[in-house]
Amino acid sequence: MADQSIIRITKEIGELQKSSDLSLAVAFRDRDVRNVRALIIGPHETPYEFGFFEFSVKFNKDYPRKSPSVTGITTNSGRCRFNPNIYSSGKVCLSILGTWRGERGEEWSAAQGLESILLSIQSLMSSNPYENEPGFEDANELQDKKNQKDYVAKIRHESLRISVIQRLEEYLGINNTSAISQQSPEQRDYDLDIDDDVEVDDASIPWEPFKDLCKRRFLWYYDTYLESIKKAKEEVKDDQAFVRMPFEGASNSMEGKFNYTELEQRIRRIKKAIDAESDRWAVEGGSARTKDATVAVNLARQFEQIKESFKRSEVPHNIELVDGNPFVWSFTHFGRPMTNLDGGMFRIQLNFSPRFPEEQPRVKFLTPIFHHRIAADGTPCYFPNPSRREDVRQHIDAIIEALEEEQPPYDPRTLVHPEAHRLYWGNADQRKVYNRQLRRSVQRSMEEI
């Protein structure tokens, strides 16, 4: 029975890791498949939008006959209740987990699995989470309507502050006085140890399986975060206190004050730090190259193979190493004839980490282009084959596919350029405006030659 349980868990993890669902990610450490970390990215048009919410999933030996236990990790050290059903203690109230009394047929069954659990949790992250609290499902009174608005407002602020900004600052080693003052003494001590360059045993360093993913997604959603801040500034004032909800208790609530001015400063600082990190990779890579590091040799070999394949291809492409560094590639894509990209020349740079493929490449269009899958700073939203993350050709092909795809399915999780996204998925007149903007950027690319 135990072996069957392990097989089932491993299969479910593998399917999720190969999935094209951009809002879910799972990982486990070493061979311990019974202890899984899961990341849920907050849904579009909710106060959780593009937040990074992490959960611990522990499978018992009776799985799938019995459901696993799930605990929320993104709680600001137990001080933030992100949802009526997601407590500050990390408890997740769901009937399929046996943590909430549901209707008949809503209990756990062996037909369910890890993905259905994560999707159920994600469904709690709605546009109006106030209604998730029992007894408040049909709240129609004037005070209830005000509470709904106030509840959404503070969740939006804390989702950005805690799940995005605080998480990325910790990943990047950015000191933020107000954030540190809100941490537990143990966490403050740990952060100070790391920042002071004190040697730490690898075993004591927290396991962060989603660090690279969150950094890359931050670059995708950076402009959306800024738009959200701009809109929120019109609705609430700095230093305005959060309103406590009727169902919130002293030890299970979301307390604090709004301060979007500070959040904007912090989010811009994170963006600069990630960009600087990409630049450091080139320097680190150059050093690794001189030592014939395995990653450098691998990238150099892949570069020669891809360059040779492009020479034999009918599609014109140009690819070079920047300053001979195998960790920095320059790729020029020529727009296909009879498309909106016809005649365009787009220079794209790929920066590789000395820890590739553990850290995936940072890609940027150096040639400005107005495109719904390319952020204003040139960061493309593309999807390489998850099972071949070490194959650079997969990345290049996926970048080209994202750029040239003529009839992409609507997916708000690819919202990396807010203005272009709205126009592209708008009405017929808005699509015409989008096409004109795209053609102008294509023409400008030709003028720069």
Report the catalytic residues.
Answer: 93
What is the C-alpha separation between 186 and 442, in angstroms, rounded?
53
Q: Identify the bridge partners of residue 28 per DSSP, sorted by sequence position.
A: 36
Closest Cα partner for 168 from 268, 81, 260, 88? 268
What is the C-alpha separation between 45 and 328, in angstroms, rounded?
37
What is the per-residue burial (b if ≥16 Cβ within 10 Å, else e) of 384-400? Answer: beeeeeeebebbbebbb
Strands 52-58 and 345-351: unpaired
What is the C-alpha separation between 122 and 24, in angstroms, rounded?
9
What is the C-alpha separation between 57 and 208, in angstroms, rounded?
15
Helix axes 392-404, 294-312, angle to 10 degrees: 50
Whether 169 contacts 265, CB under 8 Å? no
What is the per-residue burial (b if ≥16 Cβ within 10 Å, else e) of 204-229? Answer: eeeeebbbbbbbbbbbbbbbbbbebb
What is the C-alpha separation between 381 and 401, in angstroms, rounded?
10
What is the C-alpha separation between 364 and 279, in angstroms, rounded?
12
Phi/psi at 36 (nearest 5 deg)? -115, 145
